[in-house]
A and B are shown apart, each in its own frame.
Chain A
Amino acid sequence: MGIRDKGLEIRLDAVQRRFGERIVIDGLTTRFDAGEFITIVGRSGCGKSTLLRLLAGLDAAQGGQLDADGRPLKEAIDDVRIMYQDARLLPWRSVVNNVALGLAGKRDTVRALALEALSQVGLVDRADEWPGNLSGGQRQRVALARALVHRPRLLLLDEPLGALDALTRIEMHRLIERIWREHRFTAVLVTHDVSEAVVLADRILLIEDGRIVLDQSVELARPRARGDAAFARLEGQVLDRLLTVRTLEQRNQIRGRVSAIRTGDVLAEVEVEITDHEGRRDKVISTLTLRNLREHALEVGSEVLTVFKPNDVALALVDVDDNTATPLRTGERAVA
């Protein structure tokens, strides 16, 4: 195994990406070791997919540095392959020709390479079918083979299992883990499924508002059993952290005190008085359901954190002792 087959070592230094005024990736600094399996978790809109697109070279950073093996990542971009949420197979090409996409060389050699990659994902018997005849899980396996055939040194996975059923996901976890152990590439998986992250990762990164707020290494032996106590504990920790809103140093959050609660038959309006560090005052109103209100110890005078989202004002109850806050689920209005 030559140096060519080893995973890329990635360094990110103060990487920034803005869309207009909105900062999506905010001075992100971290390092992925060669051959490491990283999973990135976070709520939707936290910037995790944007980070992956930066790593794939599909999007350019506006500040900071992305390096691979000490050189700019751009120069190593041919060693990077990405798997998307949907398989993105070309429907007019047979399965084997989809896998061969972008391979140069003699027809026979290319086909042999593609067939070999297909056999690794167990689909060699479907090689000459149209992608339209495959199930969702099979399509993602073809997409995996298409990425593998290029012998990537950095494989990026952008929630590739999100649309699959639970059983197929578990099969895919095993497949991805086996292939990663064989090829030793560096893998970066973006997911919103914490248990998926714990199954696969050497390290779990939690991203919130474009920054890494948790960097948790996973020391469990592979292959990992979901029922295991240590597994469950770790999964619980990460989930808790994911549900907890950080209280300090956030640009879109302000602390305040409940000044009035007006209840109707179904909804409740909570008026919060906000004071900034210069002593200026303002008032903001957040709406939640009456049922939701009763579940929390929210009363006039409670200390809360107001979180400003693009179309919503959410509240979180502040625990003064450890300076964390538990969100009131106002965002989940779709749930009856």
Chain B
Amino acid sequence: MHETAISWQRTAISWQRLKTGIRQRLRGHGALPWLVPVLILTVWQVTVQAGWLSTRILPAPWAVVAAGWELLLSGELLEHLGASTARAASGFVIGGGIGFFFGLINGGYRLAENLFDTTLQMVRNVPHLALIPLVILWFGIGEEGKLFLVALGVFFPIYLNTFHGIRSVSPDLIEMGRSYGLRGWALFRQVILPGALPNILVGVRYALGFTWLTLIVAETISATSGIGYMAMNAREFLQTDVVVLAILLYAALGKAADMVARALERRWLRWNKSFLAA
């Protein structure tokens, strides 16, 4: 009886060791966060394969991968991906550029703020996607309308955060810069812009989110290329696997853009302790 007790104890100890071992391994390899997604995918695959869930409603994950592979081989996927990315990038540059410009002059000059800010704040309250019917009337269903919408969506987060960033630069530092002989462009580049940069980058991250959101809607209206077009086309032919693929692509692109923005933050804001850990 005494021996049984000891062997029980041993079993208990080795079970404990196994558990902590698994825990450490999961944590050590950063695998723990992936446990739930993998579980969900497995359950999903099983339910579809067993016929409990119709492929009309939701295709099996494996089918989505297969559709992606097929489209990649035919070259279609890259074509649509390229078209969407080009739209997102040019819309971002145009809208972000204009937003940055207005943020700078309104943040830097009272006169400009008095002249423009109220107008911009009023326009800001119009949801830009509500303009779609008007945009179609103005630009037709070509590229210009889509660019316009993306640019408009990007403009406000960049404008607001640049404006706020410029305003929140410490007046003490500006005064110090002046008393050390910095004027005009030198003062702007060495003191004001770096001081506003944390806010501007917050604006960039918001704007990237808006870019993809706008694009999804804009590409579903009428397009001959792009991920949105691919999804709408697939819907016509009941290809749920391609529809899900398109949705996942948008998610991946959004995540990629966010990673770029974070990388910029780590590079440009490395002096700031709160970005070192991120």
Residues on A close to B: CB < 8 A?
A: 56-58, 78, 81-82, 84, 86, 88, 90-93, 101-102, 130-132, 146, 150
Contacts and interface: CB of A to CB of B under 8 A. Distances in A.
Nearest to B175: A58
B181 A102 contact: yes
A132 B176 CA distance: 18
Interface in B172-196: 172-173, 175-182, 190-191, 194-195
Contacts of B14: none
B180 A102 contact: yes
Interface in B17-36: none
B272 A91 contact: yes
Nearest to B191: A90
B173 to A, nearest CB: 6
A90 B173 contact: yes
Given A90-B190, A92-B194, A130 B176 contact: no
Contacts, number: 45
A104 B50 CA distance: 75
Nearest to A104: B181
B271 interface: yes
B180 A84 contact: no
CB-CB nearest 8 A-B residue pairs: A102-B180, A88-B176, A102-B181, A92-B194, A92-B271, A130-B271, A101-B180, A91-B271
A58 B175 CA distance: 8
B56 interface: no
Contacts of B181: 78, 102
Majority SS at the chain B contact face? helix
Most A C-beta atoms less than 10 A away, residue of B176, B178, B180, B195 = B176
Contacts of B180: 81, 101-102, 146, 150
Given A81-B179, A82-B179, 15 more contacts: A58-B179, A78-B181, A86-B172, A88-B172, A88-B173, A90-B194, A92-B194, A92-B197, A93-B190, A101-B177, A102-B180, A102-B181, A102-B182, A130-B271, A131-B271
Contacts of A86: 172
A146 B182 CA distance: 14
Interface string B146-190: 000000000000000000000000001101111111100000001
23 contacts: A56-B179, A57-B179, A58-B175, A58-B179, A81-B179, A84-B176, A90-B194, A91-B271, A92-B194, A92-B195, A92-B197, A92-B271, A92-B272, A93-B190, A93-B194, A101-B177, A101-B180, A101-B182, A102-B177, A102-B180, A130-B271, A132-B272, A146-B180
A150 B176 CA distance: 14
Contacts of A92: 194-195, 197, 269, 271-272
Contacts of B110: none
B2 interface: no
Most A C-beta atoms less than 10 A away, residue of B177, B178, B269, B271 = B271
A92 B175 CA distance: 17
Most B C-beta atoms less than 10 A away, residue of A91, A102, A132 = A102
Nearest to A150: B180
A146 B271 CA distance: 19
B220 to A, nearest CB: 42
A102 to B, nearest CB: 4
A132 B273 contact: yes
Contacts of B271: 91-93, 130-132
B128 to A, nearest CB: 33
Nearest to B172: A88
A188 to B, nearest CB: 15
Nearest to B194: A92
Contacts of A91: 271-272
A93 B194 CA distance: 9
Interface in B182-234: 182, 190-191, 194-195, 197
Contacts of B179: 56-58, 81-82
Nearest to A143: B176
A84 B172 contact: yes
A258 B113 CA distance: 57
A82 B177 CA distance: 11
Contacts of A56: 179
Contacts of B269: 92
Contacts of A88: 172-173, 176
A81 B181 CA distance: 10
A57 B273 CA distance: 34
